[in-house]
Structure 1
Amino acid sequence: MMFYSKKSIGNFLLKSKTLIYGVDEDDFIKQRILPYNFDQLRITECVVIYNEAEKAESVKLQEFGEQLEARVIFEQIMEEAETEYKKNKDFLKLVVRDNPEKQEKLFLKGIPRSQKISDVLISRREVYEWVLSDDEVVQGMSRFGITREALEGARQKVIDAETAKRKYDQERGEAQDATLLRNDAFKKLSDVVDELETVLLYALEDRPQLMEKLGIPVLSPGYKRKEKTTPQPEEPDQSTDDTEVPQQ
């Protein structure tokens, strides 16, 4: 998986802005590139492409921030729910140890369909719903200081974790979409920068100071110009809901 670094993004956008806006604000340069079919309309298109790329990066950063916030909230609630569940299940085993039928129900309901977080949470919730529907089990839990209210609170914690998981999944999806849109915008910007730089190398061949002004390095005779480097496309977060939760 490849990622843009903050430094490479900043350098890429700064270089692109210096080049494109520098051309747009200099009438002499505009005249020089006109024979290469770079008229004002085409220059304006470059400006629009730059602005869209800058905005796409800003949106991507915002979406990733919201994803991170949702993840922190979910993980905190999930940890609390799991800690409570482990304790309650240990005491449940004591309560039903002499009742094979209830042992079987606890065993069956306590096994999630898979170790996906969503299935694990469904299993946890079903265990609490079964316990709360059985007054005898609830009374047995009270012998260990675990009241019906405490069990209802533990069930609500699981429900809260499910809600937080859905929110996190939503934010993660939006961050993935924003990453793809940003990558597309950067590709378009990189293409127009390539075109404009190539034209300027010939249009301003006798004006090296103007090329330097636009951020195009001017090399001494005999030196080979280094190949331009641009940030590599960043892959969006491809993680799924398959994260495993340890068996309790």
Structure 2
Amino acid sequence: MTAKRKGTELEYLKNYRLLFDNLSKVADIQAEMAEYGYDQTAIDEGKALYEKAELLYNERKVESAEEKKAYDTFAIKLEELKEFYKKDRKKAKVALLKNTELYQYFQLNKQLPQAYLKLMQEAKFFYEQIQTNLEAKPLLARLKLTEEVATSRLELVNTTFTLRVEYEKEKGESQQATKDKNKAFEDIAEWIRDFYAVAEIALEDHPQLMESIGKFVRS
């Protein structure tokens, strides 16, 4: 199991960058570490892991922002649909009050659903019936629930559904980006731990060199 990292991921990226910068500048550290298997090729492998973690960290930020934007856009449209549906149901209750069969058929005897999918399904049925139910049409039209109104509302239902699909897509991409980022951070953290363990041995007689890199990799 991977140990939980202390500090923020951004702080870790900063420290990793400083470590690799320092390694590239101090020849004495390079020479000592090369004797213990950390030659330039090995250091480059570690740096590549750092660069991957940094890249995926930034990509995850982008995906997270896109997910939030998609949800906010969907939520605004859903609220718009909900408000229209509430008002139109209120009109329909008055229009169909004396016709128990139609009143129940239009589901006016039920509470407004809280779940978004159920709400959208019910609203879709409601407005489709305004368009097609010949018995209800003249009664509903008296309170301005016309085919034209229903068509407009159904367009809103379809738009809201499309926005939800887009949000789910962005959510999935954001979740995958988070998994990829987490894996990249685990990989570089493991490399750093191994490097530091060897450095404690390789630089045991050079405490000043150890200190120059140790401050960047200690958690």
Q: What is the Cα deviation at residue 140 of structure 1?
A: 2.6
Matches of 2:185 and 2:123, distance apart in 1: 45
3-state SS in 1 of match to 2:8? helix
3-state SS in 2 of match to 1:97? coil
Matches of 1:119 and 1:170, distance apart in 2: 20
Q: What is the Cα deviation at residue 133 of structure 1?
A: 0.9
Contact 1:24 1:44 in 2 (8 A): no
* 1:204-243 equivalences in 2 (<5 Å): 204-214=203-213, 216-217=214-215, 228-229=218-219
- 1:189 is aligned to 188
Deviations, residues 52-72 of structure 1 (Å, cap 9, x unaligned): 000010110000000000011
* 1:99-248 equivalences in 2 (<5 Å): 99-107=99-107, 116-214=115-213, 216-217=214-215, 228-229=218-219
* 1:67-106 equivalences in 2 (<5 Å): 67-106=67-106
Choose 89-98 or 68-77, whichever is displaced more: 89-98
Contact 2:63 2:174 in 1 (8 A): yes
Judged with a 3 Å threshold, the aligned counterparts in structure 2 of structure 1 residues 85 and 186 are, in CA distance, closer, same or farther, namely same
- 2:21 is aligned to 21
3-state SS in 2 of match to 1:36? coil
3-state SS in 1 of match to 2:107? helix
Q: What is the Cα deviation at residue 193 of structure 1?
A: 0.9
RMSD: 2.8
Q: Which amino acid aligns with 2:78?
A: M
Matches of 1:97 and 1:165, distance apart in 2: 34
Contact 2:23 2:29 in 1 (8 A): yes
TM-score of the aligned structures, taking structure 2 as reference length: 0.87
Contact 1:110 1:123 in 2 (8 A): no
Deviations, residues 180-200 of structure 1 (Å, cap 9, x unaligned): 000000000110111112222
Q: Which amino acid aligns with 1:161?
A: T
Contact 2:128 2:150 in 1 (8 A): no
Deviations, residues 20-69 of structure 1 (Å, cap 9, x unaligned): 33224433212101222112221111011000000010110000000000
Structure 1: segments with no counterpart, 5+ residues: 219-226, 230-248
Structure 2: segments with no counterpart, 5+ residues: none
Count of equivalent residues? 216
Q: What is the Cα deviation at residue 110 of structure 1?
A: 6.9
Matches of 1:202 and 1:90, distance apart in 2: 78
Choose 174-183 or 97-106, whichever is displaced more: 97-106
Q: Percent identity?
A: 25
- 2:49 is aligned to 49
TM-score of the aligned structures, taking structure 1 as reference length: 0.77
Judged with a 3 Å threshold, the aligned counterparts in structure 2 of structure 1 residues 169 and 11 are, in CA distance, closer, same or farther, namely same
Q: What is the Cα deviation at residue 120 of structure 1?
A: 2.7
Contact 1:49 1:185 in 2 (8 A): yes
Q: What is the Cα deviation at residue 73 of structure 1?
A: 0.2
Contact 1:111 1:123 in 2 (8 A): no
